[in-house]
Structure 1
Amino acid sequence: MNLTFSPTTQSDADLLVAIRIAAMRESLERVGRFNPERARDRFLASFDPALCRFIEADGVRVGFVLVRPQEDHWHLDHLYIVPEHQGKGIGAAVLRQIFADADSQRMSIRLGALRGSESNRFYQRHGFQQTDEAEWDIYYMRPPSFTKEQGKCSD
């Protein structure tokens, strides 16, 4: 699979919202929180096209990712793969790229996942550890993994 990332613009907001809703719909319905208007409003309130990238697998647009650099960590704010492309290793490949970039800068990665969502198991499988929880979300962190080239041994 050839994975590429392409920039987004403000004019992509409606498409990004549609991808987010498609990816989250089942999980939101399961917990009784599916509301397309709320999903749209929550996304648009913090959307920054400069930080967002479309995910393309073999030339097909399959989702998007948005990582917000913070002073002491990176916040993985959005990682959505449309349902028909889930389960093909795309999300894992995206995480590997984010991990490599974060590790090279010795940054941890933090994120929140909807309680009851399949994404919780996905993130745990990829080394994220739960740090906190709230009514609707579970929060995770992945510390940086250092290589010998960076002067430390990997975990």
Structure 2
Amino acid sequence: MMNWEIRRASAMDVEAVAQLRAVVLRADLERLGRYDEQRVRQRLRDAFDPAHTWVIEVGGELAGSVALREAEDARWLEHFYLAPHLQGRGVGSGVLRGLLEQCDRDGVPVRVNVLQGSPARRLYERHGFTLETEDPVDVFMIRSSGGPSGSERV
């Protein structure tokens, strides 16, 4: 597993995260016939809230982002992007594990949505997320507090 750090995002991070989102989601959005070079970035800008967002760094460089937004009945895991060359190296699992442990301590479920066919779905399933609903574009998943057995070992 690689060494990584996580820090609170600032308003100055928005453009770098928007660019990362465009890179990470491009293949899935193109496969679904929904890629728009401007819209993919603007949707991040419109939803970006530094108060609920963290930046993931590897070697002092921006490597990813993740947001955890409070909702009435759960927390929403959003904007979880990791640079393609770092995927599959344990960084995403480590970040996700830390966030889920926090939610478990607070006793709240976590929701996430992923694009149909995205390999990210396997990551969430390994961490105890299950299908809630889906449509032709999105898969909505939920994880009860505590996950399937109270804690994850990935």
> Does the TM-score normalized on the shorter chain lie above 0.5?
yes
Match of 1:13 in 2: 14
Deviations 1:63-96 (A, max 9, x none): 0111101232110011100111111011111110
Match of 1:112 in 2: 113
Cα pair 2:15 2:45 within 8 Å, conserved: no
What residue identity is the alignment partner of 1:154?
G
CA-CA distance at 1:113 after TM superposition: 0.3
Deviations 1:47-70 (A, max 9, x none): 111111111235342101111012
Q: In structure 1, what is the Cα distance between the partners aligned to 2:59 and 2:13?
A: 20
What residue identity is the alignment partner of 1:113?
V
Q: In structure 2, what is the Cα distance between the partners aligned to 1:64 and 1:154?
A: 25
Q: In structure 2, what is the Cα distance between the partners aligned to 1:141 and 1:64?
A: 20
**TM-score, structure 2 as length reference:** 0.88
1:23 has 2:19 as partner:
no
Cα pair 2:53 2:67 within 8 Å, conserved: yes
Distance 1:131 1:7, change over 3 A: same
- 26-35 or 46-55: which moved more? 26-35
Deviations 1:85-127 (A, max 9, x none): 1110111111100111000000110010001111122211221
Aligned residues: 149
**TM-score, structure 1 as length reference:** 0.88
Aligned-residue CA RMSD (Å): 1.8
| Consecutive unaligned residues in structure 2, runs of 5 or more | none
What residue identity is the alignment partner of 2:126?
R
Match of 1:149 in 2: none
Match of 1:83 in 2: 84
Q: How does 1:42-121 map to 2 (within 5 A)?
A: 42-121=43-122
Cα pair 2:18 2:42 within 8 Å, conserved: no
- 79-88 or 69-78: which moved more? 69-78
- 25-34 or 101-110: which moved more? 25-34
| Consecutive unaligned residues in structure 1, runs of 5 or more | 147-152
Provide the secondary structure at the position in 1 that maps to 2:51: coil
Match of 2:150 in 1: 154
Identity among equivalent pairs (%): 34
Cα pair 1:19 1:82 within 8 Å, conserved: yes
Distance 1:154 1:117, change over 3 A: closer
- 10-19 or 136-145: which moved more? 10-19
